[in-house]
Structure 1
Amino acid sequence: MLTLYVIKSCDTCRKARKALDSRGIPFRTHDLRDDGVSATLLDELLARVSLATLLNKRSTTWRSLDEETKVSLDTDKAKELMQQAPTLLKRPLLDTGDDIIVGYRDGDYDALSH
């Protein structure tokens, strides 16, 4: 079954959920704030998606970090920060089993089948 990683207050995440629902595609939802971001989850995601792709540099949380933290960020520090602040993860993240689809734009899920 597909897993959609979201933050429930995120408009783009709501659009992604609606797109899957409208296609009748079953999925489970994992709220990154409510359900948490474990080190294991981050390791699984980073094994399949680069840190540059996963890190949300447009977030308010990222912009609020001091410049030294941003410049010296390595994978371990990024994982620690993402666990503390799930908004540092781009979202939604759709785990299809084969791929991780990062973000959502209309049409992104058109190729998925039930």
Structure 2
Amino acid sequence: MIVYGIATCDTTKAAIKALQRAGREVTFRDIRAEPLSEAEIAQIVAEFGSRAVNKQSTTYRSFTPFLREAEPEAQIAAQPTVMKRPVIQDGAVWHLGWDDTVQGALGL
């Protein structure tokens, strides 16, 4: 299982701790320290569409009007921290965020 996020994100940290407590083997991928490739961004956007971008974030609000109108792939490539976090890849299954629905789908 791979958890994509940033090291300073409280939600990402909570997800990792809960998954580890449940006995899951978790690999954390800090997208700030190790940026996503174009293929990874494309896969995340293919899974979640525009929901992959956190439009409530300060990063998104600081975008220029041009970048706000850009495709989600361009937004995440320009500023990886605009990605909604965490993104969890559990084999072939992907999850976005850390709410009750995601936790239930992961058996937590």
TM-score bin, normalised by smaller chain = 0.7 to 0.9
For the pair 1:66 / 2:64, whether they are aligned, the reply is yes
Q: Tell me by how many angstroms 1:38 deviates.
A: 1.1
- State percent identity of aligned pairs: 29
Higher Cα Rg, which structure = 1
Instruction: Give the Å deviation of 1:94.
Output: 0.4
Distance 1:21 1:107, change over 3 A: farther
Match of 2:79 in 1: 85
* Correspondence for 2:97: 103
Answer 1 or 2: which has greater helix percent. 2
TM-score between the two structures when normalised by the length of structure 1: 0.82
Q: State yes or no: 1:29 paired with 2:28.
A: yes
Count residues in correspondence: 107
Residue 54 of structure 1 aligns to which amino acid in structure 2? A
SS at match of 2:19: helix
**Contact preservation (8 Å) 1:39, 1:83:** yes
C-alpha deviation, 1:93, in angstroms: 0.5
Partner letter of residue 53 of structure 2? L
In structure 1, runs of 5+ residues without a counterpart are none
Which residue of the partner structure matches residue 7 of structure 1? 6
Q: Is the 8 A contact 2:4 2:30 kept in 1?
A: yes
2:43 matched to which residue of 1? 44
Inter-partner Cα distance in structure 2 for 1:110 and 1:25: 14
Structure-2 separation of matches of 1:69 and 1:83: 11
Gapped regions of structure 2 (runs ≥ 5): none
Shift of 1:106: 5.2
TM-score between both structures, scaled by the size of structure 2 = 0.86
- Higher relative CO (CA 8 A, sep ≥ 6), structure 1 or 2? 1
For the residues of structure 2 that align with 1:69 and 1:34, how far apart are their CA atoms? 22
